[in-house]
Amino acid sequence: MDHEQLAVDTIRVLSIDAVQRAESGHPGMPMGMADIAAVLWGRHLRVDPDAPEWPDRDRFVLSNGHGSMLLYSLLHLSGFPVSLDAIRSFRQWGSITPGHPEREPHLGIETTTGPLGQGFGTAVGMAMAEAHLRAVFGNELVDHRTFVFVGDGDLMEGISSEAASLAGRLGLGHLICLYDDNEISIGGSTDVTFTEDVGARFDALGWQTLDIDGHDRHAVDTAVTNAIADPRPSLIVCHTKIAYGAPTLEGSAKSHGSPLGEKEIAGFKERIGWTLPPFTVPDAVYRHFRQAMDRGRSAHREWEARFSGIDATSRARWQAYFHPMPPSVGSLDYAVGSMVETRKASGRVINRLAAELPGLVGGSADLEPSNNTLIDGTPDFQDDPTGRNFRFGVREHAMGAAVNGMALHGGLRPFGGTFFVFSDYLRPAIRLAALMSAPSIFVLTHDSVFLGEDGPTHQPVEHLASLRAMPHLWVIRPADAGETAEAWEMALGRTDGPTCLVLTRQGVPVLDRAGLEGLVRHGGYVLRPGSDAVLVATGSEVAVALEAASRLEAAGISLRVVSLPCWQVFFGQDEAYREAVLGPGLPIASLEAGSTFGWERIVGSDGLSIGIDRFGASAPYQRLAAEFGFTAEAVADRLLEWLRGR
């Protein structure tokens, strides 16, 4: 009996039966890629279902995540904790088998996929992490590959070109991509929109490219073997037929995103001689896959033996990367009142933390001098893989996905930087980081219209409100250098989700926060006491709020000033703390150089929100402050008028 063929048939049958039972899903891709998957998992992949999070396991990423039943079938058959009951409950409430894979490393699911191209970009980040850690620790402890499945849609999305270009420049030889080239998308044949020579594109980007019949398992095996041996990243173009074997829907777009139907399924099963009831797996297939998994179990045992033999110094170093202690920045020793750009304070903090956290790595989208993201005293990764500076190039979207991949890989705390306005370019990656609880850090500088002369194309207005609307994302906009240091401590102390650090281009005064150190971790706190009204501000506007409060004091008004660097953390505090900060019954106003959208959560229905609900303008930032009413005098006058009119 050809157990591998039986395994392929089982993958196809499980996938189409689960989609049919759910009455929704994508049966065509699992049927088309079953041969490729059976070869990779059966002959090459080194994973251990008994220890799914073993550090030196191969990573497998299903970027074309709509074909999720392919992954769930493989996990179940290979002995990961994905049961037949979970397969039966595909796409149902509370199931561990949702419509698109969601990161659950203990189940063997390395990353959340579905938004096309994201998995590919994330896989590039995983390969970057592996290459760096292999250079640091040697291939006795780190020596694995990242395998990623992609479809036509993945390679149409622009992120794939960004990420592939980066991977080719970095020479990520342990990255292997298997491309399901079935020439079908939801709308029909890809000839309508996608006629480029993909192999030639990847050749030009510095990849090894191989072209095979994706239903010829010997050809798949040979190609993967050649890819493993090549020092370049590899793209294996696998020519397949969607819904391979279906009597009337093979090669049809109708099989992409809809169940095949009972008649088509019956015809397919008859064609392959399948007589077992739905969701029944032959014992021979379980044996086949679980014997294949012995390859990973053996590799894991060998790795554990090597790891147990390392000396105390190496063990402590490993601990510092994979299980770091919470960092502490300490005082930056800036004089109160001195003007310091929070982006520059951030750069100083990065370098102080880098000495404490060897796994802190990062870079920016070709904006290192402006974002202040360079780590001193370490080379660039592309020149020396032990280097901690990653030059992402003008590729914000790929950078975001790669940062996520490094964060998910383990052993590193990565960050990526760009101008705040260009968070639009990496927003899908930020969203997936939040969905996956990935501890990615995004350094976003030039945070308001006060970046000045570059004008409205570069001046973020709506971006704070937009990112604050994203669940599970911390958006921290510190008021000065001291808050910036504490913001970094928060970001690095967080292991269950991503953080955006939103920083100024212009200098802002260092505040007198004596006795208030550490309060940024609450999200918001009282910076200046007051009993008549409350003014809540963020970022560079906090200093303006304090000066406005001094002006109002001369008018007999006691204004409380609250710094609110992180809404999400503040709203996570208990009601007693929030009330103590905002004051029960006091009128509340807000001050922020951005959209007022959302500030009603703070100020209430009768509060005042001072903001900028239009695009900016090109001028020196001092002129913009005057024109937009963000001088202390203008803010004090606005508050006085509002309070007298109540």
List residues with catalytic annotation: 396
Give the span between the Cα atoms of 105 and 112, in whole angstroms. Answer: 10
Give the span between the Cα atoms of 328 and 490, in whole angstroms. Answer: 10
Give the span between the Cα atoms of 449 and 359, in whole angstroms. Answer: 34
Amino acid at 582: L
* Of residues 501, 498, 495, 547, the one with CA closest to residue 520: 501
How would you classify the pairing of strands 588-591 and 533-537?
parallel
Q: Tell whether the torsion through CA atoms of 81, 82, 84 and 85 is positive or negative.
A: positive
Return all residues near 562 (Cβ < 8 A) that are at least 6 apart: 524, 525, 526, 527, 534, 535, 536, 537, 581, 582
Computed over its alpha carbons, how large is the radius of gyration of the chain?
A: 27
In 420-472, the DSSP E strands lie at: 441-445
Tokens of 601: 């959560």
- Asked if residue 395 lies in contact with residue 349, where contact means CB atoms within 8 angstroms, the answer is no
- Asked if residue 457 lies in contact with residue 587, where contact means CB atoms within 8 angstroms, the answer is no
Give the span between the Cα atoms of 602 and 567, in whole angstroms. Answer: 9
Total Cβ atoms within 10 A of residue 2: 9
Report the largest interatomic distance among the alpha carbons of the chain, rounded to a whole angstrom.
92
Runs of H (alpha helix) within 475-589 = 481-493, 541-554, 567-571, 575-582
DSSP-assigned states of every residue in 239-278: E--TTTT-TTTTT-GGGTSS---HHHHHHHHHHHT--SPT
Give the span between the Cα atoms of 475 and 482, in whole angstroms. Answer: 17
| Unique residue bearing structure tokens 């003014």 | 535
Phi, psi of 390 (to 5 degrees): -105, 120
Residue environment code for 371-394, b if the CB has 16+ CB neighbours within 10 A, otherwise e: bbbbbeebebbeeebebbbbbbbe
3-class SS of residue 628: coil
* Of residues 525, 447, 518, 527, the one with CA closest to residue 489: 518
Total Cβ atoms within 10 A of residue 485: 26
Label each residue of 574-613 as H, E or C.
CHHHHHHHHCCCCCEEEECCCCCCCCHHHHCCCCEEECCC
